[in-house]
Structure 1
Amino acid sequence: MWIRDGQQLQNLVTIRLEGCQGCQQLPPLEQLPYLKELTISRMDGIKYIINNTTGDALSLFPALRFLRLREMANLEGWYPGEDRETAPPMFPCLVNVTITRCPKLTTMPPQIPTLIDLSITESYCGTQIALMSKEKGFFKHLKSLEALSLERCEELTLLLEDKEDTRPLSSSLRYLDINDCSQFSLLAALRNLTSLETLAMGHFEELLSWPDEMLRDSESLRELRLYFCKNLIGASSQGDCGLPFLEDLGVFDCDALIELPKCPTLLKSLSVFRCPNIKFLCSDMGHLTSLFKLELSKCPVLESLPEGMQGLTSLQKLYIKDCPALKSFPEGLQQRLPTLKRL
């Protein structure tokens, strides 16, 4: 009852409600004028974040910037009988949303013009998502979204393959992280997300060789991260990575990886961590005249650095850790890297 007395809480900026299993209804947090950060977790009695959208409020959660919903087993929506067109605007200042293990949730918050970052893990009801996407568009209100992370959300990744569904994101989305979503079609998604600059892919067990053919049509990608792709062996028959404008490449925890593909000339940063079977980075690195940073860590069978490293005329940082099989640098390397500043 004391939380419902809004006058006592007018100046609150941060609220965290966790593990209140007896709670069936949240207080009117949406009316707090200065609330910027809200975390609600492990409250299985809650079906809706807001219970009454009537009144004279010009907007709901008028100052909220960070919203985190975690392990809300029975959360169904944002308010009962959602009318996404006539309800007061919600979250006008929201920039970051994290939704984790909310399996019954079916919709995104309506009317959120400034949302920049959105992370979803094991959430949303698959059949309802399919219906919502056909009726109104799941990503309809996310026209400012810049970063999207999806983990174990098969239905949501399928929506990224639909051109109409992703139209609001096509010119704004810069960062995409897809983790453990086996049905995801990279080729279809990249054709729709034409502004994407950073792509991270994790736990893609069906990935056997470098996805150069899928990446080749993407001219906007500048950064690629591959992690926990345990069956990725090495380059495809094409031999290159398929991204001529790539500037940053990171490969992490890929157990079967033996060798990297040929990297593009514009590459500035290359990181390879925890790849236990990689013996060679690539056959030659002499063409990487823009490479600024090279990082190698926990690659126990890496035997040698590539030939042509004297061509790395822009290299300033060389970082090597826990590579016990590495015996020597290419001959004369130390005299031919005049730009090196950190070793």
Structure 2
Amino acid sequence: MHAREANVSQKRLTKLKMKWGNDSQRGSLEKEVLAELKPHTDTLKHFEVEYYGGVEFPCWVGDPTFHQLVHVSLRGCRKCTSLPLLGRLPSLKELLIQGMDDVKVISLELSRSTDVTFPSLEILRFEDMSSWKAWSTNSEVMFPRLRELQIIKCPDLIDVSLEALPSLRVLRIEGCSESVLRSLVQAASSTTKLEIESILGLTDEVWRGVIVNFWAVEELCIRKCDEIRYLWESDAEASKVLVNLKELKVWRCKNLVSLGEKEEDEDNIGSNLLSSLRMLVIDSCESMERLCCPNSIESLVIKWCSSVRDVSFPRATTTTGGGGQNLKSLTIDIWGCGNLKSINQLSNSTHLTSLSISYCENMELFSDLHQLSNLTSLYIQGCKSIGIESFPNLHLPNLTDLGIEGCKNMKAFGDLQLPNLISWRIESCENLESFPDLQLSNLTMLKHMTIRYCPMIDASFPRGLWPPNLCYLDIGGSKKPISEWGYQNFPASLVHLRLFNEPDVRNFSQLSHLFPSSLTNLSIWSFDNLESLSTGLQHLTSLQHLIIWFCPKVNDLPETLLPSLLSLIIDECPKLKERCEGRGSHYWPLISHIPCIYMDRSYHFS
């Protein structure tokens, strides 16, 4: 009665969402209610139903007179045993069916109808259909415009009998049996993007029968398919069936040993493999032992593959280039591969622009690093085996970014010639004793410099040796406390200074001789015993941004600087916060004009 009184059919709604309690048990009543809530047929575009408790839908759901309807979503209708007939909706573009536990068979064709079924549908998604066993159709004209199909967590689905899907480009299958994958890749021969995850029964043998249908696939992503040990038998096989593959991503396939089962001879390994491939990502494949990279790749990412020992590129020959040398750029990013010691034939990668190696404890860098003349970015983190022999000479004319972090055995650098270096970061290298400070003045392009938590380094350089155009300096935790440094003659270009971890400093007058008047940004972090900022900063007339973090004893601010500040950040400084927070506080009249005030992760406004 209430549903009838709502008079929904006269409201001319464009969007209607109906949601029942997910524990609803009144099936027959709910069907009657839904029947009375039929909306206006001329205007409805978006229709959603959640937790409907009826066994079937009223006949208006799917009525082709809803000629404007483009989106339908049916979620959690767990008592329904069948789907409404939606195939005659002329404008329907997106259909989502989720959590319909009692549906066992889906036959989406329309009986005694010669019309095209789902004439406009572009996106179709089934998810969490725990009892669904069969999907079939007798219609030869079905899904003519379907471009994306997703079937997710439908573990009992076995029988899939569909005609061709000529427009399908994106196919995602997760938590289903291998028969679903086999059936759909045969029906969707024009698919360009395929994502599969947790496919039950997907053995090497089954997979070999599947990839023969991948001639159009450009992006392939494989996740949690634990029965696969090899993606193809030989390089020749891969090159024949994956002729258009551009991106290959493999994640958490715990039994994958290598890409190919049969290796070619060492000199030409991978040289003819997948000539179209540009991106290769191997992530968390714990049994991966060897990675033979195609010659064509531009981006290589290997993460958390604990068993991989060898990553190789093809050797250069007179007829084929090696190691990506014919490409415009090559990026290599390696994380958490504890047994990886080297990357073979990398010296042939003359167009390598970015190299990042992190948490590879046994990695011993190559001595021919200087041959990578186009390298612009080099980042090494947490590699315990890398020592001075890794950098005997570093002559890289195009390098702009260099980062070394957490390399415990590194003690010194060799000769460095880096004329275009812009950013240099050295952090947490506990045994690093020195680096070529006498060359710093030659780094005319260096703008950003970080030296943090390197307790064996004396980071106070002789007068005049700082890079002449340095703009940003982030420094602290070195052997000689900053408070004991002499006059540093920082360049006038230095505008941003961040200081860390100086427990002996109680008053900033101890450091006043260090700060150039050019500073616009000053950050103070982890000064455990700092009490006063009121003196030592008066000459910083250009200062606009002041940050004070983790300084528990500090209780005052430099009042002469406050009028010019644009931002003030105070975090984990309880005494100072008490004197700055709120209109009645000591400093509020002096700081209330500052546009941005941030204290302990919250903004304060005047």
Aligned to 2:78: 21
1:35-184 equivalences under 5 Å are: 35-56=92-113, 58-79=115-136, 82-83=137-138, 87-105=139-157, 106-107=159-160, 109-124=162-177, 126=179, 139-155=185-201, 158-162=205-209, 169-179=213-223, 180-183=225-228
Q: Deviation string for 1:40-71 (max 9, x for gaps)? A: 22111223444552254532222222222112
- Closer, same or farther: CA 303–176 of 1 in aligned 2, 3 Å: closer
Match of 1:232 among 257, 272, 288: 288
| Partners of 1:125 and 1:226 in 2: CA distance | 22
**Deviation of the 1:115 alpha carbon:** 0.9
Quote the Cα distance in structure 1 between the aligned partners of 2:227 and 2:304: 18
In structure 2, the residue matched to 1:238 is none
Query: How far, CA to CA, are the matches of 2:422 and 2:68 in structure 1?
Result: 48
Letter in 1 for 2:338: N
Structure 1 residues 327 and 32, CA, compared in 2 at 3 Å: closer, same or farther?
farther
Distance in 2 between residues matched to 1:29 and 1:56, nearest whole Å: 13
Equivalent runs, 1:251-290 vs 2, <5 Å: 251-262=302-313, 264-266=322-324, 268-278=329-339, 280-282=341-343, 285-290=346-351
Query: How large is the Cα RMSD of the aligned pairs?
Result: 3.6
Give 1:94 shift.
1.5
Per-residue deviation, residues 65-90 of structure 1 (Å, max 9, x unmatched): 222211211223334xx33xxx1422
Structure 1 or 2, whichever has the larger Rg, is: 2
Contact in 2 for aligned 1:209/1:234 (Cα 8 Å) = yes
Q: Would you say the 8 A contact 1:213–1:242 is kept in 2?
A: no
Partner of 1:68: helix, strand, or coil?
A: strand
Report how far residue 187 of structure 1 moved: 2.5
Q: For 1:187, which of 227, 232, 250 is the aligned residue? A: 232
Q: Which position in structure 1 is the counterpart of 2:11?
A: none
From 352, 358, 375, the counterpart of 1:315: 375
Question: How many matched pairs?
Answer: 321
- 1:99 Cα deviation after fit: 1.2
Mapped to 2, the partners of 1:335 and 1:274 lie a distance apart of 23
Compute the TM-score of the two structures, normalised by the length of structure 1: 0.76
Paired letter, 1:176 = L
Q: Deviations over 1:264-291 (max 9, x none)?
A: 4216434434315156442663321122
Alignment of 1:289-304 (within 5 A): 289-297=350-358, 299=359, 301=361
The 8 Å contact of residues 316 and 339 in structure 1, kept in 2 or not, is answered as: yes
**Take 1:209 and 1:4, find their aligned partners in 2: how far apart are those partners?**
51
Q: Give the direction of change, closer, same or farther, for the CA distance of 1:21–1:228 in structure 2 (3 Å limit).
A: same
Q: What is the percent sequence identity of the aligned residues?
A: 22
Deviates most, 329-338 or 67-76: 329-338
CA distance in 2, matches of 1:34, 1:166: 34
Matches of 1:342 and 1:110, distance apart in 2: 58
Secondary structure of 1:29's match? coil
| CA 1:153–1:184: 2 relative to 1, 3 Å | farther
Mind listing any 5+ residue stretches in structure 1 that lack a counterpart?
236-240
Q: Using the alignment, how far apart are the partners of 2:216 and 2:323 within structure 1?
A: 27
Partner AA of 1:245 in structure 2: S
Structure 2 vs 1, CA of residues 285 and 140 (structure 1 numbering), >3 Å: closer, same or farther? Answer: closer
Q: Is the 8 A contact 1:224 1:246 kept in 2?
A: yes
